[in-house]
Structure 1
Amino acid sequence: MSRIIVAATPVSGHHGPLLRIASHLSGAGHQVVFLGGARFADEVRAAGPEFRPLPAEADYDDRDFAARFPERARIPAGPALQVWDVMHVFGDPTAAQCRALKDTLADFPATVVIHDNLFLGALALALGEEAATRPAVFSVGITPLIVESRDTAPPGSGLLPPADDAERERYAALAAHGEEQRKPLVDHLRECFAAAGATLPEGPLGRVFTEAADVFVQLTVPGFEYPRGDQPANIRFAGIIPIPAGDGREHPSWWPELLRAREQGRRIVVATQGTLANDDLSRLVVPALRALADRDDVLVVAATGRPDAAARVAATLPELPGNAVVAGFVPFADLLPYTDVLITNGGYGGTQAALAHGVPLVVAGASEDKPEVAARVEWTGTGVNLRTDTPTDEELRAAVATVLGNLAHRERAARLARQYADHDALATFDTLARTASTPAPAPDSAR
Structure 2
Amino acid sequence: MTRFLLVVPPLVGHINPLVGVARELAGRGHQVAWAGHADQIRRLAGEDAAVFDCPMPEGGLSRPPGMTGPAAFRFLWAEFFVPLADLMAPGVDAAIDAFRPDVVLTDQHAVAGALVAERRGITHVTSATTSAELIDPLGALPKVGAWLSELLGALRGRIGDPERTGDPRFSPYGVIAFTGRELLGDAPLPHERVHLVGPAIAPRSDRSDFPWEWLDPERSTVLVSLGTANVDAGGRFLAEAVTALDRLGDRVQGVVVDPGHTLSDVPPGVLVREHVPQLDLLALADAVVCHGGHNTVCESLWHGLPLVLAPIRDDQPIVAGQVVDAGAGVRVRFSRVDAARLGAAIETVLDGSGGHRTAAEAIGRSLRAAGGQVAAADHLEQIAARHTHVPAPH
TM-score interval (norm. to shorter): 0.7 to 0.9
SS of 1:146's equivalent in the other structure is helix
1:396 to 323, 339, 342: 342
The question of 1:106 aligning with 2:69 is answered no
Q: Given the superposition, is the C-alpha separation of residues 287 and 44 from structure 1 closer, same or farther in structure 2, using an over 3 Å criterion?
A: closer
| Mapping 1:265-284, distance limit 5 Å | 266-279=219-232, 281-284=234-237
The residue number in structure 1 matching 2:248 is: 295
TM-score normalised to structure 2 length: 0.87
The whole-number CA distance in structure 2 between the counterparts of 1:440 and 1:139 is 15
**Aligned-partner residue type, residue 412 of structure 1:** A
CA RMSD after TM alignment: 2.9
For residue 289 of structure 1, what is the amino acid of its counterpart?
Answer: V
Aligned twin of 1:252? 210
Q: Could you tell me which residue of structure 2 aligns to residue 409 of structure 1?
A: 356
Unaligned segments of structure 1, at least 5 residues: 67-71, 150-154, 157-171, 442-447
Q: TM-score scaled to structure 1, two decimals?
A: 0.77
SS in 2 for 1:242: coil
Does 1:347 find its partner at 2:293? yes
Q: 1:344 to 1:233 in 2, by over 3 A?
A: same
Question: What residue is the counterpart of 1:227 in the other structure?
Answer: 186
Aligned to 1:81, the other structure's residue is in SS state helix
233 and 145 in structure 1: CA distance in 2 versus 1, 3 angstrom threshold: farther
In the alignment, the residues of structure 1 paired with residue 135 and residue 84 of structure 2 have an alpha-carbon distance, to the nearest angstrom, of 24
Cα deviation, residue 148, structure 1: 4.9
Q: Which residue of 2 aligns with 1:31?
A: 31
1:261-301 Cα distance to aligned partner (Å, 9 max, x none): 32x3x222221122221355433222111123222433332
Q: Distance in 1 between matches of 2:67 and 2:74?
A: 11
Deviations 1:392-414 (A, max 9, x none): 22220221122123340000001
1:142 partnered with 2:129? yes
Q: Distance in 1 between matches of 2:356 and 2:201?
A: 23
Count, aligned residues: 387
CA distance in 1: counterparts of 2:175 and 2:123, whole angstroms: 11
- Amino acid corresponding to residue 176 of structure 2 in structure 1: V
Whole-angstrom CA distance in 1 between matches of 2:328 and 2:347: 14
Runs of 4+ in structure 1 over 6 Å off:
200-203
Q: Whole-Å Cα distance in 1 between the matches of residues 119 and 208 of structure 2?
A: 49
Percent of aligned positions that are identical? 22
User: 1: CA distance between counterparts of 2:323 and 2:373?
Assistant: 24
Is the CA contact 2:174–2:194 (under 8 Å) kept in the aligned structure 1? yes
Structure 2 match to 1:372: 318
Aligned residue for 1:60? Answer: 57
Question: Does the 8 Å contact 1:216/1:235 carry over to 2?
Answer: yes
| Structure-2 separation of matches of 1:239 and 1:230 | 15
Match of 1:188 among 140, 151, 157: 151
Give yes or no for contact 2:61–2:229 (8 Å, CA) kept in 1.
no
Distance change in 2, residues 1:228/1:401 (3 Å): same
> 1:322 deviation in Å?
4.2
Q: C-alpha separation between the residues in 2 aligned to 1:229 and 1:289?
A: 40
Name 2:391's counterpart in structure 1: none
Aligned to 1:115: 106
What residue ranges of structure 2 are gaps of 5+ in the alignment?
Answer: 389-394
Greater shift after overlay, 427-436 or 287-296? 427-436
Cα distance, 1:86 vs structure 2: 1.2
What SS does the corresponding residue of 1:40 show, helix, strand or coil? helix
* 8 Å Cα contact 1:295-1:323 kept in structure 2: no
2:225 and 2:290 in contact (8 A); partners too: yes
Q: Is the Cα contact below 8 Å between 1:382 and 1:413 reproduced in 2?
A: yes
Distance 1:229 1:25, change over 3 A: closer
Larger radius of gyration: 1
